[in-house]
A and B are shown apart, each in its own frame.
Chain A
Amino acid sequence: MAKELWKGNEAIAEAAVRAGCKCFFGYPITPQNEIPEYMSMRLPQVGGVFVQSESELAAINMVYGASASGVRAMTSSSSPGVSLKQEGISALSSGELPAVVVNVMRGGPGLGTIQPSQCDYFQATRGGGNGDYRTIVLAPCNIQEAVDMTQEAFDLADIYRMPVMILADGMIGQMMEPIEWHPIPKREVPPKDWAASGRRGRAHSNFITSLRIDAPDCERFNRALEQKYKTIAEKETRWEEKDAEGCEILITAYGTPSRIALSAVEELEAKGVKAGLFRPQTVWPFPSARLAELAAQPSVMAVLVVEMSLGQMLEDVQLAVQGVKPVRFHGRVGGMVPSVEDIAEQAGMILREVR
């Protein structure tokens, strides 16, 4: 299959259309503007609907409405805009409605900067909205993966009836890279017999709500969510490794920093250092078990976490490693991107220190 050159944001938008997304609602913000721009051109061609809403809050609630009627719906934004959508993401989780939310992260806090960042990891994996909910969070490291994950996100959202987030960074949104439109594995998706799309002679009405005023009822619902999240953790946790078995320093990173770290691993290996890379592809559920296993190898002397944040995934790594090995951190923030040289140098320093 021929490779095509695509810009990240546009590729994500096209992937959504190919996955059957019929409704897009959003409000402009850099560095993700090419997603709504592309959707405004493309969705009318496939009989879909594009609305540039009056606010992010409106956009996420339009997603709620469209999803409740049974169609595949999506919104995208960047960090400050995704903050505004948190209430709606909590409501989607409670209404058990499928949705795909894309966050092309930029530096924060507040309005911050338009340059790439990963400072919304806590918000994405812990939930920025209220309640005991989770969202599946897929973290692509390049445009091909962003395309594949976006398509699969719609299936995952439908299977588990919940919001799925694509957690990308400004670099993935803005860069160009060749990709292949290869067929992605089709998942079995249950019929949307719950959709509030008209009763049409059915005996019962479908009713979608996020309010469960009766406490025992609300507890039962939370327990059911708990079960769903356990199933997801068992079935949908994903990661990738490069030379992680038998390594001395295990570098852990996701998204753009993981591909920079991959170059650092190659550079270290060329100098004879046994370096390995562990790259979570889902950051919720987090691949804790495999990371713990790798960190516990006798060869591993330290784990180095690299992020474009002050250390957020770092906490998940620490929880997984459980103090069995030293966990160190290298982060750049505010729109700055870590370099291959810095990561390699940090790894070398840590190894000298722990030996």
Chain B
Amino acid sequence: MKKQITISGFGGQGVMSIGKSLVEAAVAEGLHATWVPSYGPEMRGGTANCEVVLSEEPVGSPVFTYPTELIAMNLPSLHKFEPNVTPGGIIFVNSSIISEKVKRTDVKAVYVPCDTIADELGNKKVANMVMLGAYIAATGALKQETIRQMLIHMFTGPKAKLVDLNMQALERGAACLEG
């Protein structure tokens, strides 16, 4: 198994943290992983992206031209990276703010209304977790339980209630794959 994932969106959409969560979970599952941020002179509201590699083998190049999956959190990201996705790959589209459809026919498109679901759950900040849930469900690259253990570890004391909220976000994201 080797995944090369490009995750892209506006600064503030939690793009970097989707990548970090994937890598953290991968490490917990004994996989090799790398996370490379774009660290240009970007500002809040500007574009941000990161490149993640998850692999059973040690990672050679941490950067790549052709992602196996693209997570597009906003429209410019879809436009920029759609042509590069490897045939047979998956494009995850945040359909809450991207009304366009994926044009390529040789890749699978998964539409996830991240912000709409996050609003329904009462916390806009979990939009990225909705997308993470969809990614995990669609690829089977990681176990949802690993993420739950990470959340339990991350949110303690008064923040412990955020575990359930984030798990709901993951599950709602996963449910987008059904039907």
What is the bound-complex CA distance between A57 and B40, given in angstroms?
27
Knowing A175-B36, A177-B33, A177-B35, the reply to whether A5 touches B62 (Cβ < 8 A) is: no
- Contact yes or no, A114 B37, CB < 8 A: no
- Identify which of A5, A171, A266 contacts B24 (C-beta below 8 A): A5
B24 contacts which chain A residues (CB < 8 A)?
A: 5
Most chain A C-beta atoms within 10 Å of own C-beta, residue among B24, B37, B39, B65: B39
- Contact yes or no, A175 B37, CB < 8 A: yes
Most chain A C-beta atoms within 10 Å of own C-beta, residue among B20, B34, B41: B34
A262 contacts which chain B residues (CB < 8 A)?
A: 60-61
A-B contact count (CB 8 A): 63
- Contact yes or no, B65 A114, CB < 8 A: no
What is the bound-complex CA distance between A89 and B20, given in angstroms?
37
- Contact yes or no, B35 A341, CB < 8 A: no
State whether the Cβ of B165 lies closer than 8 Å to any Cβ in chain A: no
- Contact yes or no, A260 B63, CB < 8 A: yes
- Contact yes or no, B60 A259, CB < 8 A: yes
- Contact yes or no, A174 B39, CB < 8 A: yes
Knowing A114-B39, A341-B65, the reply to whether A177 touches B60 (Cβ < 8 A) is: no
B40 contacts which chain A residues (CB < 8 A)?
A: 114-115
- Nearest CB on A from B125, distance (A): 21
- Nearest CB on B from A341, distance (A): 6
Q: Which residue of A lies closest to B39 (CB)?
A: A174
B64 contacts which chain A residues (CB < 8 A)?
A: 339-340
State whether the Cβ of B148 lies closer than 8 Å to any Cβ in chain A: no
A256 contacts which chain B residues (CB < 8 A)?
A: 62
B32 contacts which chain A residues (CB < 8 A)?
A: 178
State whether the Cβ of A176 lies closer than 8 Å to any Cβ in chain B: yes
What is the bound-complex CA distance between A260 and B63, given in angstroms?
8
State whether the Cβ of A3 lies closer than 8 Å to any Cβ in chain B: yes
What is the bound-complex CA distance between A30 and B37, given in angstroms?
14
- Nearest CB on A from B149, distance (A): 14
A339 contacts which chain B residues (CB < 8 A)?
A: 61, 63-65
The interface bits of chain B over 44-87 (1 if a CB of A lies within 8 angstroms of the residue's CB, else 0) are 00000000000000011111110000000000000000000000
- Contact yes or no, A340 B65, CB < 8 A: yes
- Nearest CB on A from B123, distance (A): 25
Number of contact residues on B: which range applies?
Answer: 20 to 34
What is the bound-complex CA distance between A264 and B64, given in angstroms?
11
- Contact yes or no, B34 A177, CB < 8 A: yes
- Contact yes or no, B60 A175, CB < 8 A: no
What is the bound-complex CA distance between A30 and B42, given in angstroms?
13
State whether the Cβ of B23 lies closer than 8 Å to any Cβ in chain A: yes
The interface bits of chain A over 1-12 (1 if a CB of B lies within 8 angstroms of the residue's CB, else 0) are 001110000000
- Contact yes or no, B33 A259, CB < 8 A: no
State whether the Cβ of A58 lies closer than 8 Å to any Cβ in chain B: no
What is the bound-complex CA distance between A175 and B34, given in angstroms?
7
- Contact yes or no, A114 B36, CB < 8 A: no
- Contact yes or no, A175 B62, CB < 8 A: yes
Most chain A C-beta atoms within 10 Å of own C-beta, residue among B24, B33, B35, B61: B61
- Nearest CB on A from B37, distance (A): 6
- Near B by CB (< 8 A), chain A positions 237-285 give 256, 259-260, 262-264, 266
Knowing A5-B27, A176-B20, the reply to whether A260 touches B34 (Cβ < 8 A) is: no
State whether the Cβ of A31 lies closer than 8 Å to any Cβ in chain B: yes
B37 contacts which chain A residues (CB < 8 A)?
A: 174-175
What is the bound-complex CA distance between A31 and B40, given in angstroms?
10
B34 contacts which chain A residues (CB < 8 A)?
A: 175-177
Sorted nearest first, the 8 A-B pairs with minimum C-beta distance are A263-B60, A263-B61, A176-B35, A260-B61, A262-B60, A178-B27, A175-B36, A177-B34
Chain B residues proximal to chain A, CB less than 8 Å: 20, 23-24, 27, 32-37, 39-41, 59-65
Cross-chain pairs A/B with CB under 8 angstroms, 17 sampled = A3-B27, A5-B23, A5-B24, A114-B41, A170-B39, A175-B37, A176-B35, A177-B59, A177-B62, A178-B27, A256-B62, A259-B59, A260-B63, A262-B60, A264-B61, A340-B65, A341-B65
Chain A residues proximal to chain B, CB less than 8 Å: 3-5, 30-31, 114-115, 170-171, 174-178, 256, 259-260, 262-264, 266, 337, 339-341
